[in-house]
């Protein structure tokens, strides 16, 4: 089948092909239909590796019985679209269309925004590293003192650095007592509020309660401190007796810290409960479960990771609280397990000592950073635990 047959001619060596005769004209008419732009050019003769060797005869021409295969391949090649920047070589051409520049254009605004966001993230990381560096450096000065060692620090029960007593446990026990009392108040109440907002409250009720919780979260902690001293302490003394409850005590401070933390627990827990798919609730209702059974046995276990993370974040917040315990808990280290007696927490001690007349590089001054480093490690451990719980118990639904 030669070129005069009006169909196709193909060389076997490089398998280049071209349209000839009336077929080429018809192809050009089809490709130019509905085009208003001038055609570009695609050389008709080009290397094509898509045709198998069986379609050629000994003279290198496409056999008649293989013509449909070649026709389909050529049509697909012709419809691939325009070739930007192609030039005519004097041979029969197909294809065409406007030229498009597909190279990536620089976007200055996007680059600036990306750099700004990276800078914000880098600043937060560098700030954390700076805090760790300062605490570590100053704490090393404290532990480098001849009078201080880890055995005295973690094994003693009396904290008086000025006279060589470096037992940290009076401050730790007061901190843990206040935090446990706060969690006994905040966790049940916060979780109940979250369940009510997520499963029971209507839109109108939710629109009223949510702003009230936000107001509680926005009250300054110094106001909470005087609330604990002037309201909660007299209330406890009236219930348990003036001889049992001292004016400064960790119970009143812990209760008010719990009130402070309630908005945090309820907000985070409500977000976790609301993220549970509604299909689980509908399936529970479908088998006859009540709303309470659905909330407690279906929704709450499904949101366990988020609720647990909210609890741990609340504990970290309670441990780090300063002004309430500084005002209402007491102003002296006291190794006691009674919540009705005065005891100074780690944060309260830091506030009291740093406000005094301390000389730089003294043992009392360096002890502040040792306490701060221990407090930092406690909160960091809780945050790591929170992340592990989220990854361990997280459930994903489609």
The DSSP output letter for 56 is B
Cα 192 from Cα 189, distance rounded (Å): 5
Cα 157 from Cα 159, distance rounded (Å): 7
- Whether the Cβ atoms of residue 257 and residue 182 lie closer than 8 Å to each other: yes
Nearest of 198, 388, 169, 172 to residue 280 by alpha carbon:
198
Examine the pLDDT at 82 and tell me if it is beyond 50: no
- Whether the Cβ atoms of residue 130 and residue 136 lie closer than 8 Å to each other: no
Considering only 26-40, 98-112, 249-263, 319-333, which range has the smallest mean pLDDT? 26-40
Helix (H) / strand (E) element for 43: namely strand 42-43
Nearest of 255, 211, 252 to residue 233 by alpha carbon:
252
The DSSP output letter for 321 is -
Work out the average pLDDT over 21-39. Answer: 47
Share of the chain above pLDDT 70, in %: 72
Confidence of residue 64 (pLDDT cuts 50, 70, 90): low
Cβ burial, residue 63 (10 Å; 0-12/13-18/19+):
middle
Prediction pTM value: 0.69
The token duo for 7 is 């169909």
Taking only the tens place, the pLDDT of each residue in 312-350 is: 999 999 998 989 999 999 888 888 899 999 999 999 888
Average pLDDT of the residues of the chain: 78
Cβ burial, residue 23 (10 Å; 0-12/13-18/19+):
middle
Q: Where along the chain do its domains lie?
A: 3-94, 145-393
Bridge partners (DSSP) listed for residue 42: 94
In this prediction, residue 92 carries a pLDDT of 43
In this prediction, residue 7 carries a pLDDT of 40
Work out the average pLDDT over 185-192. Answer: 93
* Topology of the domain covering 145-393: MetI-like fold (1.10.3720)
Examine the pLDDT at 357 and tell me if it is beyond 80: no
Taking only the tens place, the pLDDT of each residue in 33-51 is: 444 444 333 333 333 445 5
Work out the average pLDDT over 72-89. Answer: 50
Select, from the ranges 148-157, 226-235, 278-287, the one with the highest average predicted confidence (pLDDT): 226-235
Cα 307 from Cα 181, distance rounded (Å): 19
């Amino acid at each position: 089948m030669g070129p005069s047959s009006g169909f196709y001619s193909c060389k076997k060596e490089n398998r280049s092909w071209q349209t000839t005769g009336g077929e080429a004209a018809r192809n050009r008419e089809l490709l130019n239909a509905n085009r208003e732009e001038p055609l570009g050019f695609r050389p008709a003769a080009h290397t094509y590796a898509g045709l198998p060797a069986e379609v050629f005869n000994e003279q290198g021409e496409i056999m008649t019985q293989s013509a449909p295969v070649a026709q389909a391949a050529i049509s697909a090649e012709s419809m691939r679209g325009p070739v930007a920047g192609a030039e005519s070589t004097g041979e029969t051409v197909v294809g065409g269309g406007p030229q498009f520049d597909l190279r990536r254009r620089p976007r200055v605004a996007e680059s600036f925004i990306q750099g700004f966001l990276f800078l914000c993230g880098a600043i937060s990381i560098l700030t954390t590293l700076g805090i760790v560096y300062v605490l570590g450096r100053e704490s090393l000065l404290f532990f480098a003192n001849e009078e201080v060692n880890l055995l005295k620090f973690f094994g003693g029960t009396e904290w008086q650095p000025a006279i060589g007593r470096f037992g940290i446990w009076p401050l730790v026990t007061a901190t843990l007592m206040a935090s446990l009392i706060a969690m006994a108040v905040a966790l049940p109440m916060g979780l109940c509020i979250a369940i009510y907002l997520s499963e029971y409250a209507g839109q109108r009720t939710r629109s009223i309660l949510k702003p009230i919780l936000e107001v509680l979260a926005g009250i300054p902690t110094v106001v909470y401190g005087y609330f604990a001293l002037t309201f909660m302490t007299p209330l406890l003394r009236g219930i348990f007796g003036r001889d049992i409850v001292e004016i400064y005590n960790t119970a009143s401070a812990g209760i008010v810290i719990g009130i402070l933390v309630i908005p945090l627990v309820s907000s985070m827990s409500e977000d976790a409960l609301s993220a549970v798919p509604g299909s689980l609730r509908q399936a529970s209702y479908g088998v006859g479960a009540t709303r309470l059974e659905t909330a407690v046995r279906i929704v709450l276990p499904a949101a366990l990771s988020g609720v647990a993370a909210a609890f741990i974040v609340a504990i970290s917040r309670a441990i780090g609280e300063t002004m309430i315990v500084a005002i209402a808990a007491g102003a002296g280290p006291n190794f006691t397990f009674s919540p009705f007696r005065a005891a100074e927490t780690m944060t309260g001690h830091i506030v009291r000592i740093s406000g005094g007349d301390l000389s730089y590089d003294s043992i009392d001054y360096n002890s502040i950073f040792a306490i701060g480093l221990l407090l930092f490690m406690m909160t960091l451990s809780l945050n790591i635990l929170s992340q592990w719980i989220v990854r361990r118990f997280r459930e994903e639904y489609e």
